[in-house]
Structure 1
Amino acid sequence: MEVNGDNPEKHLVKLKCSVQNYDWGRIGYDSRVARLFERNCGGQIEENKHYAEFWIGTHVSGPSFVEETDNVSLKNWILQNPKVLGDVVVQKWGRDLPFLLKVLSVGRSLSIQAHPDKELAGILHKLQPNMYKDANHKPEMALALTEFEALCGFISSEELDLVLKSVPEINEVIGNENRDVKEDRVLWSIFTKLMSIDRETISTTLSRLITRLNMEKEIRQLSSKEELVLKLEKQYPNDVGVLAALLFNHLKLNPGEALYIGANEPHAYLTGECVECMAASDNVVRAGLTPKYMDVKILCSMLTYNQGLPEILKGVPLNPYTRRYTPPFEEFEVDRCVLTEGATVVFPAVPGPAVFVVISGEGSMLTSSSEESVSVSVSEGSALFAPAGTEVCVSTESKVELYRAGVNNKVLMNTTPMI
C-alpha cells in the first residue's frame, strides 16, 4: 500500500498513537490506556506511572503517526493527501481532521472545568498561547467503557434550595449576597462567590464540613453526594472544588451510555474508563480539583449556568452489532461495535474520514478499491484511519469491541446546520 502517493487508495492506514501521563490517570497495567499504548506502539509500561489518555488524531499536543512511513505524522500525511478528507470536510474545516478520538482511564477526579466556545477560545489563544494552545472550541462526548462517574452541569433550582438549607458550611462562606440578586442570576452569584473565596477560609470551612459528615456517618447513611465530598477531599485537601461539587449533577453511566458536553458547560470526570470524542482542541479552563493552572474569573464568567440533568445517550442501533451516538455537534459522531464469534459487519462508505480504535479482541478489516481488496489484521490497541469513501468490512472468529469516530453524518449529507 502506497500511503504517500499523490492519490492514496481507499484503504485503511494503521497509526501509531500518543499517550498522556496526567496524574489523574490509572497506574501501570491497571490502566486500559497503558495496555492499548503497549499493544499499539510496543512501548514499555512503567508499573508506577500514570497512564491517562490514548489519543488518535492530528492535534499537536498528541499526534498520531502513519505506521508505514518514516515517522510522518497523520497531520502531515493528510496535508499531502487532502482528498482523503473528502470535499465536504475540506471546504468546512480545511486540511485537517475536525475531531479527536481518545480513550481515558480515570483513576481520580479531573479538574472542575469547561471548554470555551470559538469566540472565547480565539481570545484566550491570542492572549495566552502557551496555556490555550489552539483557537478552536471543544464540544465533547464520553462513552462509558466501564461504570463511569462524572459531575456535569448545575443541579436544579429545587436541589440548590435543598443544598443551601442542609449544608450550613456553604451558607457560611457565601453569606447573604444572593438575596438581592435577580432570580436568573442567583446561581451565578453563589458559584462566583464560592469559587472566589480565599484558600484559608475554604480550608477552615472544609474542615468543619468533613468533621460533621464523619460524625453523622456514625448515625445515618450519607447521601451519594456527601460520600463523594469525603472522597474528593481526600484527593484534593483544602480545594474549593470539594465544596463546589455539591452544586453539580453527580452522574453514573453504565457501559454503553454516553454523555455529551457543549461549550461553556461545567464538568469533571470522577472515575472509570471511557472512549471520548471531541472537536480537535485541547482548550480547558479550570477552577478546582486540580494542581494545574486555574482561571476562576474566566470560568465563572463563561459558564451557561443551565440547570438540570444533562441528556444521556443510549445509542441508536444500526445493525445487531453497532450502535451510533450522535451528539448535537457538527464535528463528530461515534459508533460502538461489539462483534460476537464468527460475526461480520460493514461500515458503509461515507463522504468523510473516520478513525477506528480496537478496544479488545482480534479480527480483520477489509477494504476494497477498483483495483484490489486489502485485509488488515487488527487486535487490541490497533488504531486506523479510513479515508473518505472507504467501505470497511470487519470480521472476527472470536469477539471484537471497536469504536469508529467520524464527522456527524448530518453534515456529510448537507442537512440543516447544527450547533
Structure 2
Amino acid sequence: MEQLQCHVKQYAWGKYGEESEVARLFADGHDNFQIDNKTPYAELWMGTHPDGPAQLKKCSTRLSTYLAKHPSLLTNNNSAKNIHLPFIMKVMSIRTTLSLQVHPTKEQARRLHELDPINYPDRNHKPELAYALTRFELLCGFRPAREILKNLQTFPSFRLLFGGDTYAKPLEDSILEEKKMGVVNQESRKCLENCFRFMMDPDRSDVHNLVSKLLLELDNGLRGAIEEGTAGVIRKMSVDFPNDIGIFSPLFLNHMILEPGQCCYYAAEELHAYLSGECVECVGCSNNTIRAAMTPKYIDRDALCSVLNYKMTEQKDYLVPEMKLTPCVDMYAPDCKDFQLHRIRVGTEHTSKEMLMPTLDCASILVVVSGKGTIEEATQENQLIGKYEVKRGDIFYIPPKHNVRFLECSEALEGYRTFSYEMGPDHDTRLVTPVSKSTINEKMLKLEADMEAPTTVVNKTPTAVVKV
C-alpha cells in the first residue's frame, strides 16, 4: 500500500471554504493545507490522470510513474514511462449547477481528438457513476416520451423552443403513435434529435422571450410532468444563467434526487448536469467534455448533437443497486468495465470492528471519509507487509492481490474503494496548455458557473493549468 497525496480542483461551481466536504476531507488528509473560506473547493481527484495526478506521499513520485516501475496486471508494457489507472475517483461538493454536457464514446473521443486535440485532449471515453454522500440532485438523460409529450402540450414556450409545428408536432405525433401501437420505434428518437438541433441553433434570437414566457407559465401554475421542486430548479437556473437555453433542460431531462447511499450511473452519449450536493464520483480516465449550455466555455454544437443518443429513459434505469458482499462491504457495479465501487463500513452499530477487505486481482484506490482505525497489509500468502494507523482524509493505493485487514476501529470507519480490471489509457501524448495563475484568478472572479480551467492544489502549492 502507498499513501497518496491528491489534488483539489477549485472550479467556481464548488462550495466555498469550510462549507465544502472536499476542502474538509482534503485538509484532514493533507498536512499543512489551509482552507480559504473565499475559495470554492469543487473536486478531490484520486487517480493518475495528467490533469490531477496523485503522488506517493513518501517521495512525491507520481502514481503513474510508480505503476510503470512496478509490474502488475496493469502493466503488460513496462517500457512505458507512465501507466494509468482506467478510472478517476472523486469527491465532489456542488454549490451551483454545472454545465449541461455529454461525454463521447471511445470511438467518438478518438475522432474528436483527431479533429480538435486542444478541446478534446483525451482519446478515452468518460462513463460516470455518482454515489450520494448527501442529498444529491442532477439532470440525467432525456425524460420518458410520455413526459416530454406532456410538457410540450403544457408549456407553449417549450413547444416553440422545440420548433412548433415544424419539429415539435412530428415528435408529438410519433410519441402518440408509439403509445397507440405499444412499441418503441426509432422515429421518435429521430424527431427528438430534430427538435434538439433546432433548439441549439446558434442564430436563433428568441431565447430571451421564450425564457420570460416559461417563467410566466410557471408563475401561472403550469406544471405538466414536472414536480414543484423542478420548477424551483428552473427558476434558480434563470437567476444563475439569465436567458440561457439550458433553463429549459429540466423540461426534457430527468430531474433525479438521490438520497444519501443511493447511486446512479450513465454511460457516454447521455446529456446531464449536476445541480447540487456532495457525492463520490467514479469516471473513466478522461477529461473530455462536450458542453451544451450554462457555461462560458466552448460549446461545440455539431459534436454535441452528433454524440447524443436521444434515448428517452425512465429514471429508475439510471439507478445502480447496492450489492451486499459482506456485512461490512457493499458493492456498486454498473454495466461498465472502467470502475466498480466498494463502500466499506467498519465498527458501526451494525458491523464488526475487524474485517478483511475483499482481496482483488487488480489495483484499487481507497479513501477514508470518516473514523479512525488500524489496518494490516499482507501478501496473498499472508506474509505481513505492515500496519498503519488510518483516519479520515487518508487515501491509499492498494496493489493487486494484497490482503488488507481492518484490525480495530477507535471510531466507526467509512471508506470508498474504486477498482477495475481494465488497462488504463495512454496519456503521454496528451496536449496541455499552461497559463499564468493571474489569468486563472481573473477568470475565476468573472465566471460564476462551470469554470473548468482550475487552479490545481497539491497540499499548499498551487499549479495552474488549463484543462483543454
TM-score, normalization by structure 1: 0.88
Corresponding residue number in structure 1 for 2:418: 405
Contact map agreement 2:377 2:402 (CA 8 A) in 1: yes
**Is 1:350 matched up with 2:360?**
yes
Selected match of 2:326 from 289, 298, 319: 319
Corresponding residue number in structure 2 for 1:286: 291
Corresponding residue number in structure 2 for 1:296: 301
Taking structure 1 as reference, are residues 373 and 137 closer, same or farther at Cα in structure 2, changes over 3 Å only? same
**Is 1:155 matched up with 2:143?**
yes
Supply the AA of the counterpart residue of 2:228.
Answer: S
Distance 1:246 1:153 in 2: 11
**Is 1:59 matched up with 2:49?**
yes
**Is 1:368 matched up with 2:368?**
no
SS of residue paired to 1:135: coil
SS of residue paired to 2:390: strand
Q: Output one character per residue of 1:96-119: Cα deviation in whole Å (capped at 9) or x when no partner.
A: 211111111111111111110011
Q: Output one character per residue of 1:241-263: Cα deviation in whole Å (capped at 9) or x when no partner.
A: 11122100111111111111111
Selected match of 2:96 from 88, 108, 126: 108
Could you say what the CA RMSD is over the residues aligned between the two structures, in angstroms? 2.2
Selected match of 1:123 from 97, 101, 111: 111
Corresponding residue number in structure 2 for 1:383: 395
Distance 1:105 1:183 in 2: 37
Selected match of 2:245 from 237, 240, 244: 240
Corresponding residue number in structure 1 for 2:68: 79
Corresponding residue number in structure 2 for 1:177: 166
Corresponding residue number in structure 2 for 1:9: none
Corresponding residue number in structure 2 for 1:22: 11
Corresponding residue number in structure 2 for 1:336: 343
Supply the AA of the counterpart residue of 2:127.
Answer: P
**Is 1:134 matched up with 2:134?**
no
SS of residue paired to 1:282: coil
Q: Output one character per residue of 1:266-315: Cα deviation in whole Å (capped at 9) or x when no partner.
A: 11111111001111111111101222221122111111111122331231
Contact map agreement 2:8 2:45 (CA 8 A) in 1: yes
SS of residue paired to 2:196: helix
SS of residue paired to 1:137: coil
Segments of structure 2 that go 5 or more residues without pairing to the other structure are 172-186, 424-468
SS of residue paired to 1:399: strand
Q: Output one character per residue of 1:383-411: Cα deviation in whole Å (capped at 9) or x when no partner.
A: 10000111111241211110000115xx7
Supply the AA of the counterpart residue of 2:367.
Answer: V
Q: Output one character per residue of 1:67-118: Cα deviation in whole Å (capped at 9) or x when no partner.
A: 111x21111111111327476x99xxx9321111111111111111111001
Distance 2:262 2:221 in 1: 34
Deviation at 1:145, TM superposition (A): 0.6
Supply the AA of the counterpart residue of 2:87.
Answer: F
Contact map agreement 1:101 1:277 (CA 8 A) in 2: yes
Distance 2:387 2:244 in 1: 52
Q: Output one character per residue of 1:42-81: Cα deviation in whole Å (capped at 9) or x when no partner.
A: 3121101111100000000011000111x21111111111
Corresponding residue number in structure 2 for 1:3: none
Supply the AA of the counterpart residue of 1:383.
Answer: I
Contact map agreement 1:364 1:396 (CA 8 A) in 2: yes
Deviation at 1:133, TM superposition (A): 2.0
Corresponding residue number in structure 2 for 1:224: 229
Corresponding residue number in structure 2 for 1:144: 132
Contact map agreement 2:371 2:410 (CA 8 A) in 1: no
Supply the AA of the counterpart residue of 1:144.
Answer: A
Selected match of 1:68 from 48, 58, 76: 58
Contact map agreement 1:86 1:388 (CA 8 A) in 2: no
Corresponding residue number in structure 1 for 2:463: none
Distance 2:368 2:227 in 1: 40
Distance 1:230 1:128 in 2: 35
Distance 2:309 2:227 in 1: 30
Corresponding residue number in structure 2 for 1:212: 217
Distance 1:329 1:160 in 2: 28
Q: Output one character per residue of 1:305-328: Cα deviation in whole Å (capped at 9) or x when no partner.
A: 111223312310111121100011
Supply the AA of the counterpart residue of 1:60.
Answer: P
SS of residue paired to 1:287: strand
Supply the AA of the counterpart residue of 2:398.
Answer: A
Contact map agreement 1:54 1:102 (CA 8 A) in 2: yes
Taking structure 1 as reference, are residues 73 and 95 closer, same or farther at Cα in structure 2, changes over 3 Å only? closer
Supply the AA of the counterpart residue of 1:68.
Answer: K
Distance 1:170 1:298 in 2: 23
Contact map agreement 2:155 2:217 (CA 8 A) in 1: no
Corresponding residue number in structure 1 for 2:427: none
